[in-house]
Every structure is written in structure tokens, then in C-alpha cells.
Amino acid sequence: MAEITTTQSFADGDTVTAAKLNNILGNSSISSEIITNRAELTVVDGANDFVLGYDTSASSLRKVKANNLVADASISTNKIENLAVTTGKINDLAVTTVKINDLAVTTGKIADGSITAAKIPDSSITTAKLNDGLVTTAKISDGAVTTQKIGTLSPNPEGTYGGSQSIPTIVVNSSGQVTSVSGNAVSSGFQGIQLFSSSGTFTVPSGVTKIKATCIGGGGGSGGYASTSYGAYNGGAGGGGGASIKIFSVSAGSNISVTVGAGGAAGSNVGASVTAPSGGSGGTSSFSSISATGGSGGGGAFKNSGANSAGSTGGDGSAGSGSGGDVNLSGTTNAFGRLAGLQFGGFGCGALPNSSAGNAGCVIVEW
């Protein structure tokens, strides 16, 4: 079959005129076989492939190159049926951000799970391309968001933190992720306290691994004073008890013995020509490996009989001291004239008119 046919024909001996030639062209038709019997263009057209189109303004055929068939941004959302474009129709990385108008692709145009990490170049999706609340957890596959997909935070949090005695060393990368933790575990502060004013046993509460213990020794008693109708002399003050403080590592449920030192007794008062007795020493307080000794008693006074006769006050007792602790302290001395009995481990006072006993020590446990 001829590819081009016409209703105009010539017979032998006919004269060929311009009008007859025009009729041949004007009355010609193209056979459908020209279209149906030709090979189709491949899916990926070459840059120089073209198609023919009729230009009505110029009344002539024009050729159009394949890469000019679709202009940038010429395909809008109302040109695409919902779910018509599937992942099988798009080559990997074929659709770049410059080919898509801002906000042209909505969630209604994308099937769940159709966009995978392999379809997205690194850093190609910026915040300007996403509506607020558009990306939900259901839209993100497990493991799809890696550190390579996350830009550096501003300000950059990368660095090493902590590392003190009670805080672990924490390493953070530029994406804000904690990459390693080492060293001491973070512990809370003290949340409980127990005072021992007499000897006993401390049981470590459940969940407790650290305690702080403070021991205070007993105060020494003051010496007795001597007096006559012509005058009197004071006894010496007792020494204050020492102190020791330490932080212990412990196990819950363990028992620790507690000893509390008693206060020293006061020296008795006497009359003339007799030296009054000294005060008693305070007792030692202890907790595990730490201890605090008590202060010694003050010396007794002396007074001769008779008017204008000589006499003497008692000497002050020495202070107690702490040992074995992280902090160890000595007690107070030379406390003549102060009131007695104001604090744990307080000294006995030699003030008139009577001598006094020293205060008992104590043990304080915090956790």
C-alpha cells in the first residue's frame, strides 16, 4: 500500500498544469501505516530526538526537541491525578528540588512508604520545602534518619562534659547525640539524717551507697571552786570535745556501731585551805573508723582561810581532738565565764557560784 494517496490522477497524453499538480498535493492523504508501522521512541529520548507539530500562526510544520516538551514548573498539582506517579515511574534522583515548586507536593500526592532514603540526595530537603507538621513519625521508616542526614546543630553542642568526682564524662557529637559515657555515676545529694545522742547502731537504708558521719567527743567538766567568808576562787573550765567528719561508701542493710562520749563530771566545791577537785574528762565518740576524744576536766581552785589570805583559780582543761576523718578538729579551751551546756561536746564552765559538768558528745549520720 502506498504511504501517500491522492484522488487526482493523469492519463496518457494529459497536459500537466499547475492546477493539476496542486490538486495532487491538496487531495493527497497520508496512509495510517506511516504511523502504525513505525518503531516507537525509547523511554529515555536522546537530546536530539524531536517530534513534529503544526504551527497555526505560521501555517507550517515545526520540529520540537524532546527536552523542550516540558518546561520547568509547567506541571502543577492539578495536572496530576492522585497516586498516578509511583516510584516505579521515577528514576532514582531524577526529581530534584529545582524541578518542584515550593509546597507543590502535598501528603495527598505521596503514598505511605513510597519515599525511601535512597530516593533523597543528602541535604536536598530543606525546611523551606516542608509545611509545618507535614513530617510525622508514620512518614519516617525505622533507621531512615542517620547522622549523615542531620546537619550540625547551632550552636554546635559537640564536646566533652563532666568528668568531676561525682559526674561522669559525657561525649556529645555535633548532632546532639551522646556518643559515650564513662567514669563515676551521677549521685543525688543527701536526703536523710540521724542524730545519735547515746550509743547505738546505724543501719544503712535501702538504696544508699554513700553516707557522711560526724563524731563529736564529750566536753570536760569544770573544776570545783574554793570559798570562805573572805572570798572565793573559781575552778578551771573543762576542755571542749574534738570532732571528726568523713564520707563512707556503704552497702544497704549493713550495721555500724555508734559510740557517744559522755560529758565530764563537775568538780565539787570546797571551803578554805583545801584544793577543790578537778572536773572529769569527756568521753570519746566513734563511728566506724573515725573518732573524737573528749576534753579533759578543769583544775580545782584553792583558798586559804582568813582575811586577805592567798588562793588560786583552777587551770583550764585541754581540748579533745578528732582522728581518722576527712576533716579532724580540736575542741575549745579557756572558756572561763561562759555559760555551760550550750552545745554537744561543750566544756564545763568555771563561772561562779558553782562548777558545771561538760556536755555529752554526739554522732550525726547523713545520707
Averaged pLDDT for residues 276-293? 95
pLDDT at 36: 65
Strands 210-216 and 362-366 turn out to be antiparallel
Q: 96 vs 267, which has greater pLDDT?
A: 267
334 and 359, same domain (yes or no): yes
Q: Output the CA–CA distances (angstroms, integers) from residue 325 to 11, 246, 247, 286, 363, in the order listed.
A: 134, 5, 8, 11, 13
Same domain (yes/no): 133, 171? no
237 and 125 within one domain: no
- Mean pLDDT (the chain, rounded): 77
Asked whether residue 82 is domain-assigned, the answer is yes
| Burial class of residue 274 in the structure, from the number of CB atoms within 10 Å of its CB (0-12 exposed, 13-18 middle, 19+ buried) | middle
Regarding whether 244 and 172 lie in a shared domain, the answer is no
pLDDT number for residue 13: 74
User: Does residue 46 fall inside a structural domain?
Assistant: no
Q: Are residues 136 and 157 in the same domain?
A: no
From residue 142, alpha-carbon distances to 130, 132, 145, 295 in Å are 20, 21, 8, 72
Do 27 and 168 reside in the same domain of the chain?
Answer: no
Pair 25, 7: CB distance under 8 Å: no
Read off the pTM.
Answer: 0.50
Domain count, the chain: 4
Least confident stretch, 136-145, 187-196, 246-255: 136-145
Average pLDDT over residues 289-298: 94
Provide the grid cell at 224.
Answer: 570545783
142: in domain:
yes
Does residue 53 form part of some domain?
Answer: no
CB within 8 A of 77, min separation 6: which ones?
Answer: 104, 105, 106, 109
The residue from 90, 119, 147 where one domain ends is: 147
H or E element that contains 153: none
In a domain, 48, yes or no: no
Residues 228 and 353 in one domain: yes
133 and 168 share one domain: no
- Residues 164-182: what's their mean pLDDT? 73
- Same domain membership, residue 274 and residue 334: yes
CB neighbours of residue 365 within 10 Å? 21
Give the three cell numbers for residue 357. 559538768
* 32: containing domain: 1-38
Please say if the pLDDT value at position 252 is more than 90: yes
On whether residue 158 sits in a domain, the answer given is: yes
Q: DSSP letters of 31-99?
A: -THHHHTSPPPPSS--TT-EEEEEETTTTEEEEEEGGGSS-TT---GGGS-TT-S-GGGS-TT-S-GGG
Are residues 161 and 182 located together in one domain of the fold?
yes
In a domain, 118, yes or no: yes
- The identity of residue 294, as a single letter, is G
Q: Is the pLDDT of residue 204 over 60?
A: yes
Same domain, residue pair 93 and 193:
no
Per residue in 10-57, pLDDT tens? 677 777 777 766 666 666 566 666 666 666 665 555 667 777 777 788
Evaluate whether residue 162 is within a structural domain.
yes
Q: Tell me the C-alpha distance between 104 and 233, whole Å.
A: 105
- Give the helix ranges, DSSP H, for the chain: 18-26, 33-36
For residues 331-352, average pLDDT: 51
CA dist 171 and 314 (Å) reads: 66
Point out the domain boundary residue: 147, 164, 197: 147
Q: Are residues 198 and 178 part of one domain?
A: no
